[in-house]
Structure 1
Amino acid sequence: MTHALLVDFQIKPERAEDFARAIARNARRSLGDEPGCRRFDVCRDPADAGAFFLYELYDDADAIAAHLASAHFREFDALTRDWVQRKAVRTWLLAGP
Structure 2
Amino acid sequence: MSMLSEAAFALTVVFELVEGTFPEFYRLVSENATSSVELEPGCLRFDVLTPLGPQKPSQIFLYEIYRDRAAFDLHLASEHYRSFDASTRDMVSNKTVVTYKVDENFKQAKL
Give the TM-score of the pair, scaled to structure 1.
0.95
Per-residue CA deviation, residues 3-51 of structure 1 (Å, 9 max, x unaligned), is 1111000111211100000000000000000000000000011234111
Equivalent residue letter for 1:20: Y
Q: Does 1:72 align with 2:70?
A: no
Task: Give % identity.
Answer: 41
Post-superposition, which runs of at least 4 consecutive aligned residues in structure 1 deviate over 2 A? none
Q: Does 1:44 align with 2:69?
A: no
1, 10, 31: which one pairs with 1:4?
A: 10
Q: Distance in 1 between matches of 2:67 and 2:56?
A: 32
Aligned-residue Cα RMSD (Å) equals: 1.0
Aligned counterpart, 1:15: 21
Aligned counterpart, 2:39: 33
1 or 2, which has the higher helix percentage?
A: 1
Q: Distance in 2 between matches of 1:13 and 1:34?
A: 32
1 or 2, which has the higher strand percentage?
A: 1
Give the match's secondary structure for 1:14: coil
Q: How many residues align?
A: 97
Q: Which ranges in structure 2 are unaligned for 5 or more consecutive residues?
A: 1-6, 106-111
Q: Distance in 2 between matches of 1:25 and 1:96?
A: 26
Q: Distance in 2 between matches of 1:37 and 1:96?
A: 15
Larger CA Rg, structure 1 vs 2: 2
Give the TM-score of the pair, scaled to structure 2.
0.84
